[in-house]
Chains A and B, each alone.
Chain A
Amino acid sequence: MTPAWKRRLVFTRMGRWYTALTIAIGLAATNTGNNLLYLVLGLLLASIVVSGVLSEQSLKGVRVERRLPAVANAGQPALIGLLARNGKRRAPSFSLEVREARGDVDGRGFLVLLPAWQAAEVAYRFVPLRRGVHRFEQIEVATRAPFGLFEKSRPLDAPAELVVFPRQVPPPPAASRALAREGERPQDRIGLGLEAHSLRDHRPGEDWRSIHWRSSARAGRLIAIDREQERRKRVCVLLDQRALAGEALERAVEVAAALVTRELDSGAEVALAVAGGFLPAASGEAQRHAALRMLALLQSGGSAPPQADPEASLLEVRA
């Protein structure tokens, strides 16, 4: 854990020149005994002290929270928010730079003024270049106020992780062999599907819309129709990554993600089978998130071959 008192101080370009000139003027004053040079030296040294005190005052009491996006895809910009709060009751903070430090992500935002006891949010664009886990370690609050001579920064521990989903690519065209088993599938029991399951006598009080009028006319009494229960289209995206690595693995993961997205968008239940892992078939946003997260974290190798869902149409990703 980083202690609250820890600070990092670096010279700016102006600060380097300023310090060099201060030393030179100090030497000149000592050498010549010229009191006016001592006066100039005093002003320069006092400015350094004032700068240090004010920059500390600016950093003091500032806390920052990171706001990560719900979804981030490789290759697409994502906005990461940094919410800064000034915990001082009276003193505002000036010229604050809030930035990521020591993590996988580099981003920063700038606040001209953070009034006392108030909060302000800045955001930076982050374009992840790869899928997978991106770690955040610290947030640094830095200021060069008031004179830009030095940059004083204060590290704040803010560990977090952002799982970046695979890059979005267009899915491959559907193969004719795979299409043979696609479509809504009856389950041979009464349900709310479209296909007819059986006919029976209409029961009093039953919804009149269940009456099968043609059969009723033929039988001379009211006949009701029961529909079959239909199951959604079930697809299993299968990716065997055991022999894949590097770019081939990335391309395969991207294609698998594209297939998962396409099938979920079309309303299907999608299962995902990879070497060493299996995601049971389901639909909806939660399933999309789970499948893409699984693909985002997928590594090369694995011992067991992927086990496909026998009930589902198989969409196998080939490298």
Chain B
Amino acid sequence: MSWAFARGWTLLQAQRWTGTLTATFAFAACAVSGELGPALIGLFPLAVLGSAFFAERVPRRLDLAWTVLLVAVLVVLAGQVVAGQLDIVLAAARFAELLCIHRLWHRHTERDELILLLLSLLMLCAGAALTAELSFAFAFFGFAISGTWAVALTHLRFAIEAGRGPAGSAALLRSRRVATPALLGALGGLAVLGLAGAALVFFVFPRVTIGGLRRASRPSPVAGLGDRVDLSRHGVVADDPRVALRVRLDPPPAGEPRNLAMHWRARSLSRWTGHGWAAQEGGLVQATRLPRRPGSDRGSDLLSAGIEVVGTFADGVVFTPEGWPLSVDFRRPGFSRDPVERLYRNAAGDLFYQPVSGNDLTYRVAVDRGAPDVRSMRGRGRNYPVWLKADLEVPLNLDPRVRALAERLGGGKDPADAAAAIEVWLSTALRYTRELPGEVEDPIADFLFARRAGHCELFSSAMVLMMRSLGIPARNVTGYFGGRGTDAGYYAVRAGDAHSWVEVYFPEAGFVLFDPTPPSARGSVQESAWARLLLAWDALQQRWRAVIVDYDLIAQAQAMRRVGQLLSETGRRLAGKGGSAGRLRAIAQGALLALMAVALVLAVRRIRGRERIGRPAQLSGDQRRALRLWRAAKARLREAGIDPQPGATPRELLRTAPAAREVIEVYSRIRWGGGALSAGQVRALLRQLDSRLHERVAPPGAP
């Protein structure tokens, strides 16, 4: 390879390697879906490398074995499809890959090369059906470039072989002066043209979808926030830079900060397990309407958040921003209603959706951000409803020091003041660390009195237990905190932003958020290069999805409308008077006139060029009369039984038809030598010919 790079490529080498490269990009388009399976993903690179070095050495007698193997695979795959164990698109992709591998090892004729390229195209299509990831875009781009090279070089190679024969083409095919960087660059330019055309076709092709054979969505494993928290884990809380939520806020946060300080609530955990928390048991009920915040007027400070949950983190929980949730809308923009009611809630008031598909999910949550402050919570008493029993439970084995600490901080105070005091004390007196405590007998006591340091779950758990020990209902809440602004216009909430905080109940107000974790330690601090790279990738992927993957009839109509508006605006400005509109109109008129003049000149040149190329020299009037004379004379000769030999020149005709001597001489002189010939002369010559032919046919003395 390096040797070939150093000396340049022969046409044969370039053609074969670009074909291989095309197949590789097509394979990559399939492989990024992750559905081909590790065996097939590993097999293809090995087959490519092997074919480069050993394909020529494989004896032809093994062809039958290849065929038998492929037929067997086809039967197995067909059986799996029929049995419903395998998706037909995936089966087709797998079989296309095997056919491609087979063809990579059997590249002898033009047919083999063309089949390889067509199979590569099929694999690319299978990849398009299997995945919508940004990785596909790179594979597609590579395929477009290398495919252009491969198709053009394959055509060139076999055109040379067909045009010059095997012997005549050998030297040219092995020449290193054909597949030069200049040629490859020019073909790359063609590919870019093709991509530009592809973009144009993509955006204007009508999106009228039948939807008959749409492939079902692929379920993926759920890895979101669970319904259980275990505080006895070992190790260190790791930063996970993967994007879990993509959030767009309306209205945008003031000043549009790079880092968003926002709690994204997932669910509450009320039941203490001894080493952590678990959700309350109970089923889900459909939530056709969300409850109103007690004692508050709706609409004081509304916030609408468009939330896109990445499929890997979509486990059925509805994330809500800080505030009282007012509505959750699963409808896609432009669709009037969702055909299925998807929103559910449990006894604790946490929101869920069903069904859970494992795909990315987008919904819009409206919340009332008018959060009550501590002052307004005071004096609401301790008349708690019965259903808060779970949120008042204190573990029997709670360390007395915890209760004593709670009493010291909030005992005798109003619940609002007690909650605020405990929150402040925890966030200031204790240190945040990512090191997990491991298996200790009482993680809360260990956190508060031994290590005096911990992560967010320990802070929130300690506060909940301390509040409950004071007889104030509280619960642990999980979710995310934060959000990193991206260039794509959304905030990315990453898996490492997982967080835990507290909700304290106040009569006539409901649960109110308290976060005892030191503010600087909430969420994650992910500024590593890897984290930034992942964020940039995610932003790029979102643009890809917004512009390409989710481009539908509505987006197309909007785009067309924008183009129409742009044209209309331009026309309006051109039609306007005075100021810049007048100058713009003058410039446009000048440009239009210049364009018309250039088009006129080009058209005239083209027409004149066509006349020069396509038409014979114009005949003069005398020459045209000579031509008519010649044709008329030949017709008369035929009538007289003198059939001019096919292809006979006038001089040759003279031998068999001496009667036409004058006609022939005049024709030759005028047609080729110039001179004048009147219509009268033509008639006279023809009359003379008639009379001579009559004399020739009629015997002397005949009437």
Give the interface of A toward B (CB within 8 A).
1-5, 13-14, 17-18, 21, 25, 28, 30-47, 49-50, 54, 61, 63, 87, 95, 97, 108-110, 112, 133, 135, 144-149, 161, 163, 276-277, 297, 299
Contact = CB atoms under 8 A, between A and B. Distances in A.
A133 to B, nearest CB: 4
Interface string B586-607: 0000000000000000000000
Contacts of A299: 645
B151 A133 contact: no
Contacts of A28: 125, 129, 213
A277 B652 CA distance: 11
9 residue pairs, one from A and one from B, having the closest CB atoms: A110-B163, A46-B197, A148-B155, A33-B209, A4-B614, A42-B198, A42-B201, A36-B128, A133-B647
B532 interface: no
B198 A35 contact: no
Central interface residue in A32, A45, A97, A161, by most chain B CB within 10 Å:
A32
B254 interface: no
B613 A50 contact: no
Contacts of B197: 42-43, 45-47, 49-50
Contacts of B273: none
Nearest to B157: A148
Nearest to B124: A40
Central interface residue in B151, B202, B548, by most chain A CB within 10 Å:
B202
A175 to B, nearest CB: 30
Interface string B185-196: 001001001111
A165 to B, nearest CB: 14
B649 to A, nearest CB: 9
Contacts of B193: 46, 50
Interface in B108-125: 114, 118, 121-122, 124-125
Contacts of B196: 46
A228 B297 CA distance: 146
A14 B114 contact: yes
Given A31-B209, A32-B209, A32-B211, A43 B195 contact: yes
A112 B172 contact: yes
A47 B191 CA distance: 8
A36 B136 contact: yes
Given A30-B208, A33-B209, A63-B613, A39 B163 contact: no
Interface stretch (B342-350, B417-425, B549-557): B549-557
B610 interface: yes
B159 A110 contact: yes
Nearest to B213: A31
Contacts of B613: 4, 61, 63, 87
A94 B215 CA distance: 43
B155 A147 contact: yes
Contacts of B610: 4-5
Nearest to A18: B118
Contacts of A149: 151
A17 B656 contact: no
A144 B129 contact: no
B27 to A, nearest CB: 15
Nearest to B162: A110
B190 to A, nearest CB: 6
A239 B463 CA distance: 129
15 contacts: A2-B614, A31-B209, A34-B214, A36-B127, A36-B136, A39-B202, A39-B548, A41-B205, A46-B197, A47-B197, A61-B613, A97-B163, A133-B646, A146-B151, A297-B647
Central interface residue in A17, A46, A61, by most chain B CB within 10 Å:
A46
B194 A34 contact: no
B164 interface: yes
